[in-house]
Amino acid sequence: MGIIFITGPIGAGKSTLVKKAMEIIRPASPAGLFTTRKADSGEVIITDFHFTREALIGKLEEGKGMVPCPEGFCGLGIEVLDSVTGSDFLVIDELGFLENAAPCFRYKVFKALEKVQSGLVVLKQDETVFLNALKTFPGSRVLTVSRENRDELLYELLDYANAGERRHTG
């Protein structure tokens, strides 16, 4: 299948698309990270793929907006990415501007992508050196999701995944 980067505006359905695809693809060995924002505090956390561990990666500060917490990236984030193997299906939902404060984590994202044959990675629709470099990762594909195309994009993504499976097994 290769690495597929999914990008689009807030609320377009990027994370929903990944969840639906994962339910259908059902990879044998999924690994990765999920980002969520806690509604009560506004904190942004990452969790491992199985939601057993979490770490703070961003918090709202009055007058400053969202402030990165690189310790979370450089702790749990690196631990999870270092454990990725070549047989894993990598899922990262999502990467954005907070990672700018964690060069160690950014490096490990590229190393994990180099290890795996397949994965889905959600990218915020921001322009950063890191995100732009990811979009040009060798052998990858970038899909842009909108509210109008998100349903048909699921089928395109699944067709791409199936074509990859045929190449690897046939």
Q: What domains can you pick out in the chain, each with its CATH number?
A: 2-162 (3.40.50.300)
User: At residue 79, does pLDDT exceed 50?
Assistant: yes
Min mean pLDDT across 15-24, 49-58, 64-73 is at: 15-24
d(CA 170, CA 165): 8
Strands across the sheet containing 2-8:
65-68, 54-61, 44-48, 30-37, 89-95, 118-124, 2-8, 141-144
Q: What are 116-140's pLDDT values in tens digits?
A: 989 999 999 999 999 999 999 999 9
The pLDDT, as a whole number, for residue 163 is 60
The pLDDT, as a whole number, for residue 142 is 94
Q: What are 88-99's pLDDT values in tens digits?
A: 899 999 999 999
Predicted structure pTM score: 0.90
User: At residue 167, does pLDDT exceed 60?
Assistant: no
Please state, for a pLDDT cut of 70, what percent of the chain lies above it.
Answer: 94
**162: pLDDT confidence band, cut at 50, 70 and 90?**
low
